[in-house]
Structure 1
Amino acid sequence: MWSVLGRVSTIQRLHAACVSYVPCASPPGVRHLFNLPRARHAPSFQPFLSHQKSSYCAMAPLDKYRLPVNVEPRHYDVTIWTDLKTFKFGGFVNISLDIHEETSTVELNTNDLDLGTASIYSDVSQSEQLQSGQTIDKDLQRVTFVFPNALPAGSKAQLKVAFNGVLKSSMTGYYMSAWEQDGQTKYYSLTQFEPTDARAAFPCWDEPLLKATFAITMVSHADTINLSNMPAISEEIYEPGSSASNQSSEMSTLLSSLPLEQKWKISKFQTTPKMSTYIVAFANGPFVFLEQKAAFALDVAARVIPIYETVFDVEYPLPKLDTLVASDFDAGAMENWGLITGRTTALLLDPARADIHAKKNVAMTQSHEVAHMWFGNITTMRWWDNLYLNEGFATLMGEVIILNKIFPEWKANSEFISDHLQSALALDAKLSSHPIEVECPDANHINQIFDALSYSKAASVLRMLCDYVGEEKFLKGVSLYLKNNLYGNTVTNDLFEGISSATGFDTVRIMDNWIKQQGFPVVTVTENANGIHVRQDRFLETGQVDPKENETIWNIPLSILTTTPNGQVKTDKSAILEEREKDISLDTKRPFKLNAGTVGVYRVLYTPERLAKIAAEASKENSIFSLDDRMGILYDVNALSKAGLAKLSDTLTVIDLWSNEKEYLVLSTVAETLGSLTATFWESPDTLEGIRALIRSLFVPIVKRLGYEYSADEPLDVTQLRTLAISISGGAGNDQGVIDELKSRFAHYIATGDDSKIPADLESSIFNAAVKYGGRTEYDAIVKIAEKPKTPTARLAAIRAMGSTRDPALLDETFSYILTKSRDQDITYSFRGLQANTHARRRLAAFFKENYDSLMTRFEGNFTMKHLVSISFGALSTKKDVESIEAFFKDKDTSKYNMALAQMLETIRTRVAYIERSFNDLNDWLAKWEKRSKL
């Protein structure tokens, strides 16, 4: 899942013509359909079943949260009826079963469905029997059907049951999405089943291990389009009252119940490969053509598919790949097999108005989801405790290794350091984090582990392993892993077996603690007569480690960068720290650095003297330390200073030494570091102004040098650096000259309606400045943009900007907008806009408390609530805040977001200690810097 639009008819995969679909004339949904030639190397649908390991034999022992293993599904015939006028759906399933143990009960998952009377047919008795009882367990989301006669062990059976449900705007299960066209609200429906919501659309064995094949039939209004995982094999129009040819008795019953005034379409789809329920998908709506805005995402998919096939030596096995973009979507995107779904901002862009961030976002999302066609869909984790086998791989492959092959100028490997590695380390530095492979017995736990550890830390650890064994061997091992488990279910050791086979390394020994233990190490480096002494300890953001929390010994690839006597750079990738501490021979008279390329998942703590030498070397025009090294140096010293293992002044000294840095990604790290300081010391005005002066000294000269105008043929680094410099100078830096320029550009738009002075790359900065320093006129203009934007990114920029006002009355309107007008999928953007506004932070916390019950009801079943908990309180910074938050949640049922709550409270406590410990050090450094800067 990702934390997209049309038909491509291909004779050769890379020579394609695109037709894209959206609901009517608006862009809430778009469709790409790849008609692919039959795979040459992937097994055909019948033979691939023989590759599948026995599901029954591999099942985990029965526990409270797992279905019984006595009955196993093999195939589902699912018929779904959808009425977009009444917001109802229903249908029936006919499920082919293997009976492993004699039983007179059949237990499977269901949630919020009205179930009919079940019947079951046994191949032994060759007779059908109706249920004698039906029991629903709402807490465990299960139904148990009881039958008069037992089903013999080793037999086969067919379970039939009808169901009805309501299309809600829940963004989970089978739900409705809405958009405005010509002043009218229009609707369509789609699915979001991961992790445990297929059961809310039809009764099923809703666990990833219980794979089966699916034949989907959809019945819908005749003027709508139906989509599912596979291509349609037939479509016919049915008019109530007429005879339906060759229909089952169940279908005839369903058709006879349809409203008489409406014609209906019956779409039958090809049978799927054997797959898990969470990637089953279907959608229904008035989709029409849209080509231009889908072209970029289509191009990315068309380019990455053959690369994945080559790298994995396993071809994409389905005959098509659709992608549907929705107006209302909880996650970023979802990898349903053959039918990717996702939100507009993640997968649509206007080529004429798209900034580089939007392009990267679409490309990464599309490539990430296509990666899942292999990681997750062909080969699936056995249970959710191994979610990282899906998400870690899709992140590394989709957003780094494969993306770098089609957009090398984006420096995806370097950007990974800031996008993923640092977010993973920040979360994993908390006592409230969790291992990559984590226990998650029930749905409340499963939903919470879709986080930076399952995605970013998993990808970081895999990237470290890839670097250690070599990319070519790593990818060969991954290919073996996929081939050995085609259409099966896996655990961590299955992956390690493949990589060990290809590399000759004992991958289990190297990687076990990285995957199964919480946290990561800090490597402390001291120097002696013969070289260096290195020691590993668990790193915590508090800097204080209880011995009980410091028992893990990681196998750490040290990747030591040094120079030869003639000045040549060399890296020793064979060096590994497998014990608590040891000595390493090294010539410390020459520059050196551990964790070359910032690939390792750990921090490095040097003595202040060595850090000064490393920082000085890194500041040179032709430093031996690469872009990735410089990013890592600053990220490390900043994290270490927060933990009290280094001084905050050490971080600022490094930044000051690098005042002539030219690389965008290094300066982005500088901006991020200084921006975090303004967010930390936001309630200390004098200190805050000192930090802002430092920001202005570094970035305003860049603004003056690069200006505000963008050119299509300028280097990408220039484009990104200009945007960065203007953004932080006008935001955290509060430079009046930049602020005035941004305000004037929006004023021109208000006066003329001409937005040509608002380039896409500066859209967010201009909107924020206009609202922050403006009044009613600017605010109303931003609201209009949010409601009728030209692009999806403009809408999000406007939503965030609404929260930047300093006018209490306008803030009231923003809070009211959240409750009455905000789309569910957009509320986190509203909250983030308010969190970024120091005038609104405490009001946001109060707003959450006042509206807790309605927010819980609104977001009870999806991923949003845990984010709202973190955002609402996460920027606060006093002991009183901690006490107030703890008191508020004391009597609440926090089971759906308890991990996020614990992490947020730990963040605030750490911030409080950081402020107390570093306040004087920071102010002393700023005073000395100000004095030097005036000389």
Structure 2
Amino acid sequence: MSSVSSQSPDSKFRLPTNVRPQHYDLVVRTKLEEPTTFDGAVTVSLDVKEETKTIVLNSSKLKLGQATAWSSALNVEQLSSDTSFDEKEKRVTFSFPNAFPAGSQAKITIGFAGELTGSMTGYYRSSFVEEDKTKYYSLTQFEATDARSAFPCFDEPGLKSTFSITMVSKKDTVNLSNMPVTSEGVFSPNDHSDLKSIFSDLNEEWKVTKFDTTPVMSTYLVAYANGPFEYLESSAKMPLSGKTIPLRIYTTKDLIHQAQFALDVKAKVLPMYEQVFEVEYPLPKLDTLVANDFDAGAMENWGLITGRTSAFLLDPKKADIAAKKRVVVVQSHEVAHMWFGNVVTMAWWDYLYLNEGFATLMGEVIIEGTAFPEFKPNSEFISEHLNRALSLDAKLSSHPIEVPCPNAESIGQIFDGLSYSKAASVLRMLSHFVGEDKFLHGVSLYLKAHLYANSVTNDLWAGISQATGIDIIKFMDNWVKKIGFPVVTVTETTNGIKVRQDRFLETGLAEGKDNETIWSIPLAILTVDANGKPVIDRTAVLDTREKTFELDTTKPYKLNAGTNGVYRVLYEDSRLSKIAAEVAKPSSVFAVEDRMGLTFDALALSKAALMKLSSALNLIDALRNEQEYLVWDGISTNLSSLAAIWWEDGRILDLLNAFRISLFSPFVKKLGYEYSESDTPDISQLRTCAIEQCLSAKDQSVIDELRGRFAQYMKTGDDSVIPADLTRAIYRAAVAYGGRDEYNAVKAIFDKAPTPTARIAAMLAMCQSKDQKLIDETFNLILTGSRDQDIMYFFRGMSVNDVTKRQITKFFEKHYDELCRRFESTFMMRYLVEGTYGGLSTQKDLDETNAFFKDKDTSRYHMGLAQSLDSIRAKIAYIEHSSSDLRQYLQVWKQGN
């Protein structure tokens, strides 16, 4: 068994330890006709650890009946004598007349009933339209603490149990759960006499579906669903067990034709995980259910993955590269959890990153790199995850990867870029440092040592230490337990380099108590040999404040080769100039990942006033002959960020846009607007990147081309003039530079989108209008016509339109109470706060934001708010210290062109 959680068992936020659940018999009946409801009963088998007259479970938003309990010691049933609820901590306490002796077995049975709402948490309903009629189906979303709102339970990840689930539903619907069906049939009083005591009104309109018993698992992984689902099926032959695992993907009839690609991805990656982990996939099937309404992206319920349409559906004839990559990433990520999280589960939510960071690394880099190498996932990780992590972690308001989570509010806030992207980044760094084979062997040892149990951080480090012979705890402890990350400053000496580490902040170097951490930093120093070939020293580690290393500084060199380390590198100006000259060479010794890392580092260092912004732009200018899409994607991201910061300085913005156009328009001219099946993913994505960047920079020729294509679509209804990869750009150009007709046409696509990609593109585009009447219509749509899961797209779109950037803050503040009620049980408020305020950039913005939240209860999103306030402060400082340098650089550049 694993170590215990750092959270003490008697914490006021945790359940008592006097009893421990062993098995649940759960019966749930679903009524999908309005008003949609569910009811049922649960019997929990318990080990009594200490003598007690009370049993405390988690429960929320449920109507509970009187509890009945049986004890092996007393061999008699007794009714609860008292029931008390703790609404804040979502607990119910049942008291009984006679005590349950320590060491005995007990069972408690509780009837329950609840509403099926559109909350996207607990057991909830999702809607779809068939023949102009709204219909419903139901599904669960229990992570992190919402199983308790579907049935009374011991809703903590460490309290693993087995589950036997029975579903009662109308006979023309389909029931799904974690395990396969063992029996199913129309209700019969003779065959189902046990159900009559739970549901007195059952008749032949109902059917009863019984599922096989699960392995021991945590409550947050329990899943079930009911509705008019259809499915596609496949199978996977497993390399260790030799078993053939049936695979299905379910959704409604109108969407099932878009599900084949996700099913194919699952069939491809599932056997790979069994091979890599050297642990057999433990369940007899693996389904996926695609939902119209879903709060997160997807969820790794054991044996029944669930997720939103944009995560799993695409039209193979009209799918852009981004949509395909998203399906690959999400499906692979969730399959990784079948082992990492589901077989071995974190002991408490402090260790969420053990689940999410590892699934991100495995699903989105290691396995994807084998299954879909054409997407270059290890390289893309730098922009998709590493830079995201470093941007968030460069704030004073950041938090460690491993962070105490005493209550539900704190748990909900750590599903963020640190638990996912930074955790994956430090694991990727460790993998490269020790070698991927040894790393994965260590992971396998860890899984085998804790099968079906719970674990903490040091359990994983112990497995990798055993595989590598390295003290991984010493090496990794500060990376997961301390806030922030370092910048390594390089100073050239007579014989080599001196390197120093300090905590990096987006506003500069940390000082005092904020700069006490010393990390073990794998420097991965790249140099060149006598033949000019790159050589990497992977043994060099900076584990003190400063160190010196001998090397020949007359030749090219670079730290953090491959950009696998979770840190920035600051060079002297003279060395940066030499690096810029080296990256400009067609035969540069710096690989794609190095060129990406150099670009992201340079812009981040300039924001922190550790490097001139003009020096960072010089580096970008030196990359004009670059041909790799991922390098240009990083450049595009950084230049868009600059434009978003200086959005109110017209002189600088005009110059910056001209600079952007000069970089990207040659690719538009070279690659054109037509996509071919013979194009590599790199070529397709580079074309899209260049066109989108020129559109953002107001390149008139690109605007005219994109508007012309949409005009042709409006005239003929033929969408073949809108390539899938340019859907977002064309819709955006049409609305931003068009009027009522274009807006209405995009609104019509939003109403009846052929694919999730088109729907998201339409939502983002509708936010780009400059016409106040149309803007007001879009704001109204947020309140009355947007699915809850989609509201973040509207906020995101409004926050990048210069006309609405501050209007969205006023809208949020005006409707704050309504939004709080609407999203009281989801992650959405944090996303809305970050999306609304993170892009603001003046002292007035900062003061007004602080004033608005001064009297608000921010407990559910205080981390996101603090990070947004830090973002505003950093932008204010950036504008102050770099405007003059930026303006001068761009003016000189323009005169030279």
Normalised by the length of structure 2, the TM-score is 0.96
The one-letter code of the counterpart of 2:76 is S
Provide the secondary structure at the position in 2 that maps to 1:402: helix
Q: What is the rounded CA distance, in whole Å, between the counterparts of 1:168 and 1:344 in structure 2?
A: 19
Q: What is the rounded CA distance, in whole Å, between the counterparts of 1:788 and 1:360 in structure 2?
A: 24
Provide the secondary structure at the position in 2 that maps to 1:841: coil
Indicate the residue corresponding to 1:817 in structure 2.
781
Q: What is the rounded CA distance, in whole Å, between the counterparts of 2:279 and 2:193 in structure 1?
A: 38
Structure 2 portions without partners, runs of 5+: 233-255
Structure 1 portions without partners, runs of 5+: 1-51
Q: 1:160 aligns with which of 82, 104, 109?
A: 109
Indicate the residue corresponding to 1:622 in structure 2.
587
Q: What is the rounded CA distance, in whole Å, between the counterparts of 1:180 and 1:123 in structure 2?
A: 51
Indicate the residue corresponding to 2:63 in structure 1.
114
Determine if contact 2:274/2:280 at 8 Å carries over to the other structure.
Answer: yes
Indicate the residue corresponding to 2:134 in structure 1.
185
Indicate the residue corresponding to 1:450 in structure 2.
415
Distance 1:329 1:775, change over 3 A: same
Q: What is the rounded CA distance, in whole Å, between the counterparts of 1:187 and 1:772 in structure 2?
A: 36
Equivalences for residues 569-648 of structure 1 within 5 A: 569-648=534-613
Q: What is the rounded CA distance, in whole Å, between the counterparts of 1:315 and 1:372 in structure 2?
A: 13
Q: What is the rounded CA distance, in whole Å, between the counterparts of 1:504 and 1:303 in structure 2?
A: 33
Indicate the residue corresponding to 1:546 in structure 2.
511
Q: What is the rounded CA distance, in whole Å, between the counterparts of 1:399 and 1:541 in structure 2?
A: 27
Equivalences for residues 212-251 of structure 1 within 5 A: 212-238=161-187, 243-248=189-194, 251=195
Q: What is the rounded CA distance, in whole Å, between the counterparts of 1:753 and 1:566 in structure 2?
A: 60
Distance 1:859 1:757, change over 3 A: same
Q: What is the rounded CA distance, in whole Å, between the counterparts of 2:510 and 2:231 in structure 1?
A: 59
Provide the secondary structure at the position in 1 that maps to 2:193: coil
Equivalences for residues 230-629 of structure 1 within 5 A: 230-238=179-187, 243-248=189-194, 251-258=195-202, 263-289=205-231, 292-629=257-594
Cα shift at 1:566: 2.3
Q: 1:918 aligns with which of 879, 882, 894?
A: 882
Provide the secondary structure at the position in 1 that maps to 2:331: helix
Cα shift at 1:115: 0.4
Q: What is the rounded CA distance, in whole Å, between the counterparts of 2:612 and 2:533 in structure 1?
A: 33
Matched, 1:151 2:100: yes
Matched, 1:653 2:618: yes
Matched, 1:762 2:726: yes
Q: What is the rounded CA distance, in whole Å, between the counterparts of 1:136 and 1:575 in structure 2?
A: 58
Determine if contact 1:835/1:875 at 8 Å carries over to the other structure.
Answer: yes
Equivalences for residues 164-179 of structure 1 within 5 A: 164-179=113-128
Cα shift at 1:53: 5.8
The one-letter code of the counterpart of 2:698 is N
Indicate the residue corresponding to 1:744 in structure 2.
708
Q: 2:11 aligns with which of 63, 67, 71?
A: 63
Matched, 1:903 2:849: no
Q: What is the rounded CA distance, in whole Å, between the counterparts of 1:773 and 1:254 in structure 2?
A: 61
Provide the secondary structure at the position in 2 that maps to 1:828: helix
Provide the secondary structure at the position in 1 that maps to 2:183: strand
Aligned length: 873
Cα shift at 1:698: 0.8
Determine if contact 2:3/2:456 at 8 Å carries over to the other structure.
Answer: no
Provide the secondary structure at the position in 1 that maps to 2:508: coil
Determine if contact 1:244/1:252 at 8 Å carries over to the other structure.
Answer: no
The one-letter code of the counterpart of 2:119 is S
Please say which of residues 283-292 and 366-375 is displaced more in the overlay.
283-292
Indicate the residue corresponding to 1:22 in structure 2.
none
Matched, 1:806 2:770: yes
Cα shift at 1:60: 3.7
Indicate the residue corresponding to 2:792 in structure 1.
828
Matched, 1:78 2:26: yes
- Listed one character per residue, the Cα deviations across residues 162-217 of structure 1 (whole Å, up to 9, x for unaligned) are 00000010000000000111110010000000000000000000000000000000
Q: 2:750 aligns with which of 763, 771, 786?
A: 786
- Listed one character per residue, the Cα deviations across residues 400-451 of structure 1 (whole Å, up to 9, x for unaligned) are 0000001111110000000000000000000101000001100000000000
Q: What is the rounded CA distance, in whole Å, between the counterparts of 2:79 and 2:190 in structure 1?
A: 26
Cα shift at 1:565: 2.1
Cα shift at 1:253: 2.1
Matched, 1:94 2:43: yes
Matched, 1:141 2:141: no
Cα shift at 1:61: 2.7
Q: What is the rounded CA distance, in whole Å, between the counterparts of 1:254 and 1:274 in structure 2?
A: 26
The structure whose RCO (Cα within 8 Å, separation 6+) is larger is 1
Q: What is the rounded CA distance, in whole Å, between the counterparts of 1:243 and 1:221 in structure 2?
A: 16
Q: What is the rounded CA distance, in whole Å, between the counterparts of 2:458 and 2:193 in structure 1?
A: 47
Determine if contact 1:393/1:459 at 8 Å carries over to the other structure.
Answer: yes
- Listed one character per residue, the Cα deviations across residues 471-524 of structure 1 (whole Å, up to 9, x for unaligned) are 000000000000000000000010000000001111001000001000000000
The one-letter code of the counterpart of 2:198 is L
Determine if contact 1:59/1:209 at 8 Å carries over to the other structure.
Answer: no
Cα shift at 1:659: 1.1
Q: What is the rounded CA distance, in whole Å, between the counterparts of 2:510 and 2:516 in structure 1?
A: 10
Provide the secondary structure at the position in 2 that maps to 1:561: strand
Q: 1:195 aligns with which of 108, 127, 144?
A: 144
Cα shift at 1:760: 0.3
Provide the secondary structure at the position in 2 that maps to 1:877: coil
Distance 1:332 1:740, change over 3 A: same
Q: What is the rounded CA distance, in whole Å, between the counterparts of 1:292 and 1:620 in structure 2?
A: 48
Please say which of residues 264-273 and 716-725 is displaced more in the overlay.
716-725
Cα shift at 1:544: 4.2
Q: 1:773 aligns with which of 737, 741, 745?
A: 737
Provide the secondary structure at the position in 2 that maps to 1:671: helix
The one-letter code of the counterpart of 2:10 is L
Cα shift at 1:246: 4.8
Taking only the aligned residue pairs, the percentage that are identical comes to 59
Cα shift at 1:289: 4.4
Q: What is the rounded CA distance, in whole Å, between the counterparts of 2:522 and 2:189 in structure 1?
A: 70
Q: What is the rounded CA distance, in whole Å, between the counterparts of 1:121 and 1:908 in structure 2?
A: 59
Provide the secondary structure at the position in 2 that maps to 1:266: strand
Equivalences for residues 658-669 of structure 1 within 5 A: 658-669=623-634
Provide the secondary structure at the position in 1 that maps to 2:94: strand
Indicate the residue corresponding to 1:850 in structure 2.
814
Q: What is the rounded CA distance, in whole Å, between the counterparts of 2:773 and 2:224 in structure 1?
A: 44
The one-letter code of the counterpart of 1:559 is A
Q: What is the rounded CA distance, in whole Å, between the counterparts of 2:50 and 2:197 in structure 1?
A: 33
Q: What is the rounded CA distance, in whole Å, between the counterparts of 1:493 and 1:729 in structure 2?
A: 49
Matched, 1:869 2:833: yes
Cα shift at 1:62: 1.0
The one-letter code of the counterpart of 1:224 is T
Determine if contact 1:448/1:863 at 8 Å carries over to the other structure.
Answer: yes
Provide the secondary structure at the position in 2 that maps to 1:256: coil
Cα shift at 1:669: 1.0
